[in-house]
Structure 1
Amino acid sequence: MAVMEVQNDSTEWLVVWLEPLAYDYWLRRGEGLRIRTDYVGDELAFHVSTHATDADRAEGVENLVVYVENCSFHAEVTDQNGNVLELAHQRPEGR
């Protein structure tokens, strides 16, 4: 099993995008999540990149993209207490 933990230490929203499925999880300052996959090999299980457009930054949004690699695309995403998070977790209205 491969596990990645993500923590939002910024003052803005951090949107964690899980690819290639385009699932989004919105984290407020101080919140975190854990991504688990079924991968058990020696290759990388995740690839990470960041991006933000000027419009995103103006709205207080940063983006972290986590690509699931070398395994089935299913990943379990939980909060810091182990509760499974649903797609679009905390996504603001109109986004």
Structure 2
Amino acid sequence: MAVMHVRNGSSRWLVVWLEPWGQDRWLKRDEMLCIRTDNNGEKLAFDVEYHANDEERADGIENMTIYVENCSYDVDVTDEQGNYVECGHQRPAEVDRKWAARRAAAEEELSRTS
């Protein structure tokens, strides 16, 4: 089993993205996630990329993408107490609204060009 602990040490939101699923979990300052896979240790279980752009930083957001590799892709994500943490955990409502508007605009554009 491979285990990774991720703690938000910044004053901003830390969005932890899990790939290849595109799942997001939002952490406040000092919150932690524990990510477990069935990787047997022969090859790396995780590849990590940190990223943020000026707009996200202005909104108080930092990002970390964790690529889960060399396992069955059965991943367990919990908090410090061992409680399951689902996709979208603590995602702010305004982000949901922005994403829904962008998705609707993209679908509208696709329907016009099809």
TM above 0.5: yes
**Structure 1: which 5+ runs fail to align?**
none
Runs of 4+ in 1 over 4 A off after TM superposition: none
Tell me the alpha carbon deviations over residues 25-76 of structure 1, each in whole angstroms, 9 at most, x when there is no partner: 1000010000000111311000000111111000000000000001122211
Higher relative contact order (CA 8 A, sep 6+): 1
Q: TM-score, normalised by structure 2?
A: 0.81
Residue in structure 2 matched with residue 33 of structure 1 by the alignment:
33
Q: TM-score, normalised by structure 1?
A: 0.97
Residue in structure 2 matched with residue 42 of structure 1 by the alignment:
42
Deviation at 1:10, TM superposition (A): 0.3
1:76 pairs with 2:76 = yes
**Structure 2: which 5+ runs fail to align?**
96-114
Secondary structure of 2:92's partner? coil
CA–CA separation in structure 1 for the residues paired with 2:13 and 2:76 = 21
Secondary structure of 1:94's partner? helix
1:60 pairs with 2:39 = no
Tell me the alpha carbon deviations over residues 3-44 of structure 1, each in whole angstroms, 9 at most, x when there is no partner: 000000100100000001011010000100000001113110
Provide the aligned C-alpha RMSD in A.
Answer: 0.7
8 A Cα contact 1:2 1:45, kept in partner: yes
Residue in structure 1 matched with residue 100 of structure 2 by the alignment:
none
CA–CA separation in structure 2 for the residues paired with 1:41 and 1:56 = 35
**Higher Cα Rg: structure 1 or 2?**
2
The count of residues paired between Structure 1 and Structure 2 equals: 95
Matched-pair identity in % = 57
Higher share of residues assigned strand = 1
8 A Cα contact 1:21 1:73, kept in partner: no
